[in-house]
A and B are shown apart, each in its own frame.
Chain A
Amino acid sequence: MVVKVYGSAFACAKRVLICLVEKEIEFETVPVDIIKGEHKDPEYLKLQPFGVVPVIQDGDYTLFESRAIIRYYAEKYKSQGTDLLGKTIEERGVVEQWLEVEAQNYHPPIYNLALHVLFSDKMGFPADAKVIEESEKNLGKVLDIYEERLSKSKYLAGDFFSLADLSHIPFANYLGVMGKMYLIEERKHVSAWWDDISSRPSWKKVLEL
């Protein structure tokens, strides 16, 4: 029985897909049509009570929240595929630190940017120029700190690609779609890091799905 990943068209779900490919775990995808409101169907809410994507079903085991799902698979299959958690508990701590940074500092502004620039029309609300301006400013400040970090460290958690780097990929990709890739490209070490992680076969595979 393979892992089922719901909502694979969406960025948050893509974190899970990249992780499963890196860990060499078979999966199948189940579409969830958010425009049609499928994420609010009673059947879906039984799986994910907050009515968002992704959620996975692995036999009887159900799990939601993309960063919880990637931690689960990275740990369960530690000995196969890419090691995404580091070799020691201390290395894992640093992975967790930068994964929290992604969730708390990077994600909110980039999510707001994508929401207002790319999805406001589809979702039926006016794009708020003030939100866009502030989000871009906040994202810039975060990326300045990344620039400093990545000038000393090849990847965020050290010299190895980890869940911390992986978690950035799907939303960073939206910067290209929004014509805001300069935020990455203007920063030498962030740009080199992005070129590296976005060239991984796992991301190329996920883009083709």
Chain B
Amino acid sequence: MVVKVYGPDFASPKRVLVCLIEKEVEFETVPIDILKGQNKDPEFLKLQPFGVVPVIQDGDYTLFESRAIMRYYAEKYKSQGTDLLGKTIEERGVVEQWLEVEAQSYHPAIDNLVIEILLGRKRGITPDAKVIEESEKKLAKVLDIYEERLSKSKYLAGDFFSLADLSHLPFTKYLADMGKMYLIEERKHVKAWWDDISNRPSWKKVSSSRWPLLE
């Protein structure tokens, strides 16, 4: 029985897909049409009461929140595939630190941009210029700190690719869709880091698969 991942068309579930590929864990995907409201169906809400994606089903075991799912698989399959947690408890601590930074500081700013620009476009709603300006400013400040960190460290948590770097992949791709890749490319070490992590076979596979709902 393979792991089922719900909602592969969307960015957050892609974190899980990249993680499963890195850990060499087989999976199948179940599409969820958010624009049609499938995420608010009673059947889906039994799996994920907040009505968002992803959620996974692994036999009897159900889990939601993409970063919780990644942590689970990274730990359960620690001895196979890429080690995404570091070798020691201290290294894992630093992975957790930068994964929290992604969740608390990086993600909200990019998510606001996606909602205003990409979803707004899809739904025919005029983007709020003030939100866009403020979010871009916040994101730039975070990336300045990343630039400093990545000038001393090949990856965010140290000299190894980890969950912390992985977690950035899906939403950073949206920057290209929004014509805002200059935020990455203007920063020398952030750019080198992005070129490195976005060329990983796991990301190439996940990002090149056809996910038509947000085109």
Residues of A at the B interface (CB closer than 8 Å) are: 49-50, 61, 63-65, 67-69, 71-72, 75-76, 89-90, 92-94, 96-97, 99-101, 103-105, 108, 145, 148-149
Assembled-state Cα–Cα distance A96/B92 (Å):
15
**Complex contacts, A50 vs chain B, CB 8 Å:** 101, 105, 142, 145
**Complex contacts, A64 vs chain B, CB 8 Å:** 97
B68 contacts A145, CB within 8 Å?
A: no
Known: A93-B71, A96-B71. A149 touches B76 (CB 8 A): no
Count, chain B residues at interface, CB 8 A: 31
In the complex, the chain B residue whose C-beta lies closest to that of A164 is B68
30 contacts between A and B (CB under 8 A): A50-B101, A50-B142, A61-B90, A61-B93, A63-B94, A65-B100, A65-B101, A67-B100, A68-B96, A68-B97, A68-B100, A71-B92, A71-B93, A75-B89, A89-B75, A93-B61, A93-B68, A93-B69, A93-B71, A96-B68, A96-B71, A97-B63, A97-B65, A100-B65, A100-B103, A103-B100, A104-B65, A105-B50, A145-B50, A149-B49
Known: A49-B145, A68-B99, A94-B63. A76 touches B89 (CB 8 A): yes
B187 interface residue (CB < 8 Å to A) = no
B contacts with A: majority SS: helix
**Least CB distance, A37 to chain B, in whole angstroms:** 17
In the complex, the chain B residue whose C-beta lies closest to that of A67 is B100
**Least CB distance, A115 to chain B, in whole angstroms:** 14
Known: A96-B65, A96-B67. A65 touches B97 (CB 8 A): yes
Residues of B at the A interface (CB closer than 8 Å) are: 49-50, 61, 63-65, 67-69, 71-72, 75-76, 89-90, 92-94, 96-97, 99-101, 103-105, 108, 142, 145, 148-149
**Complex contacts, A108 vs chain B, CB 8 Å:** 108
**Complex contacts, B101 vs chain A, CB 8 Å:** 50, 65
4 pairs of A and B residues whose beta carbons are closest in the complex:
A100-B65, A65-B100, A96-B68, A68-B96
- From B49, B69, B93, B96, name the one whose CB has the most chain A CB atoms within 10 angstroms: B93
**Complex contacts, A104 vs chain B, CB 8 Å:** 65, 103
B104 contacts A65, CB within 8 Å?
A: yes
**Complex contacts, B99 vs chain A, CB 8 Å:** 68
**Least CB distance, A7 to chain B, in whole angstroms:** 15
In the complex, the chain B residue whose C-beta lies closest to that of A51 is B145
B65 contacts A89, CB within 8 Å?
A: no
Assembled-state Cα–Cα distance A50/B104 (Å):
11
Known: A89-B72, A93-B72. A101 touches B89 (CB 8 A): no
Besides the known contacts A65-B97, A72-B90, 8 further A-B residue pairs in the complex with CB atoms under 8 A apart = A61-B90, A65-B104, A68-B93, A71-B93, A93-B71, A97-B68, A104-B65, A145-B49
**Complex contacts, B64 vs chain A, CB 8 Å:** 97
**Least CB distance, A180 to chain B, in whole angstroms:** 22
**Least CB distance, A130 to chain B, in whole angstroms:** 14
From A72, A76, A100, contact of B68 by CB (8 A): A100
Assembled-state Cα–Cα distance A105/B67 (Å):
14
Assembled-state Cα–Cα distance A90/B89 (Å):
19
From B61, B75, B97, contact of A92 by CB (8 A): B75
Assembled-state Cα–Cα distance A63/B99 (Å):
12
**Complex contacts, A65 vs chain B, CB 8 Å:** 96-97, 100-101, 104
Known: A96-B68, A101-B50, A103-B104. A49 touches B148 (CB 8 A): yes
**Complex contacts, A89 vs chain B, CB 8 Å:** 72, 75-76
**Least CB distance, B85 to chain A, in whole angstroms:** 10
In the complex, the chain B residue whose C-beta lies closest to that of A103 is B103
A49 contacts B93, CB within 8 Å?
A: no
- From A65, A69, A101, A148, name the one whose CB has the most chain B CB atoms within 10 angstroms: A65
Assembled-state Cα–Cα distance A149/B48 (Å):
11
**Least CB distance, A190 to chain B, in whole angstroms:** 14
In the complex, the chain A residue whose C-beta lies closest to that of B77 is A89
